[in-house]
Amino acid sequence: MIWQAIDKINRLARNGAPNKALQAAYNELMEAVQKGNEKAVEVAINEQSRYVAERITRTEMARAWADGFIAKMKKDADIVAVKFKLSSRHPGFDICDMYAKADMYGLGAGIYPKDKLPPLPVHPHCLCRYVEVIEGEVDMQQQRDQVREAGDKWLNSLPESRRAQVLGRKGLKAWEAGEDWQGYMRGYAGLREAESRLQMYKPVELSEKTITDKYQSPKGTIKEFQTRKVETATYDIHVSENVNLKPKMLAEVNRQINKCIDLLDVRNKEELPKIVIASNDDLNDALGSYMACENKLYINSETLHRKAYEKYLTTLENPASKNPLMTMLHEMIHWQDARKYVAEFGEITNPREYLEYIIAKHKKNVDELVKNGYNIKKVSDYAFDMAFKFRYDEVMTEYRVMRLLR
């Protein structure tokens, strides 16, 4: 009986040891112990320690490998996407099979954009891996978000027993009734931009010289505060003395600017705006703002705490996007509109005149959308409110944010 139980423990350790089954095996050992065999206690302890150590080692090795891959991927512009590769030693059928076989973004089975990756390791004992997809190997113009549809298609290709294995009986019933599989898939944590623990952030070094800045809210309230230039920033970034700028926050603002440059196909980086990172109080609770006459973009420091900001965005009922890039992209679109005006008419010296121009320009675009039956409410609550205030520039900015971050 003792050796049978030990054999069960060994097999369970190799296969990922479900807790209930492992407990049952130990119970059998304890029965043997109660009959006077003290050796069984030692065997049980050793086997438990071996199983736990093996699980931790495998999982941490997989996580360390993923950290190295992600750190390299982020620095290599030639890597445009990532393929999720199922391990040949994968112990059983689970969510990893979906990650490897479903075409979530129209790039091919198991291929994901760099900022929409399944996490690795997916679960304890996971030995799956990422594979680089180099520019030219896939047409990134075909990228589109079809996560739910791809998951549905994959599930439909499975027999019912397999569906129940990954969704659970309750989840299978809900999915068959039309609910989204993402709320029931076992082990599913969403697809997002992966972060490497190996990532080294630039230190924050500020200039000694302070500059007085004044921010005027849409309601006319003026806040005055002191700023310093961030000497270690990639771009022209200044920070309010009311903000404790951390290296990770500086990395985040640089990441957001780089992503906006890519999305908006910015060619001339010399025209990029001066970025001012300000506190919530400095900006009178605004998340961001762009001043066309000064070519200055204000960004609320709260938007640079990515996880906290992501969580905040999930509480909004109808935003243009729940991507934490949303605010920076919104203001950068305003910047791009202004630079197009400057290229055609010269520098912006009269803010009211420029505002009237940009509102009139975008009114034509909004009218065209409405004429074609488009419901502005679908863009965002903010866009809907701005439409009633005749701020068609804001409506179209929200519309473009929604389209770009879809």
pLDDT at 16 over 50: no
> Do you find a cis peptide bond into 118, omega within 30 degrees of 0?
no
b/e string for 75-102 if b means 16 or more Cβ within 10 A?
Answer: eeeebbbbbbebeeebeeebbbbbbbeb
Identify the bridge partners of residue 291 per DSSP, sorted by sequence position.
296
Residue 17: what pLDDT? Answer: 47
Domain boundaries along the sequence of the chain: 2-58, 78-183, 211-404
Mean pLDDT of 283-311: 95
pLDDT in tens, 100-146: 999 999 999 999 999 899 988 888 878 889 999 998 899 998 999 99
For residue 118, what are its two tokens? 């399944």
For residue 23, what are its two tokens? 């407990």
Which of 192-196, 309-313, 338-342, 384-388 has the least mean pLDDT?
192-196
How far is the C-alpha of 74 from the C-alpha of 79, rounded, in Å? 8
Which of 16-30, 56-70, 198-212 has the least mean pLDDT?
16-30
The secondary element (H helix, E strand) that includes residue 12 is helix 2-15
pLDDT at 38 over 80: no
- CB-CB contact of 244 with 235 (8 Å): no
b/e string for 7-30 if b means 16 or more Cβ within 10 A?
Answer: ebbeebbeebbeeeebeebbebbe
pLDDT at 44 over 60: no
pLDDT in tens, 48-73: 656 566 666 667 777 888 888 888 88
- CB-CB contact of 387 with 378 (8 Å): no
**Average pLDDT value over all residues in the chain:** 87
Taking the model in full, what pTM does it have?
0.60
Mean pLDDT of 308-314: 92
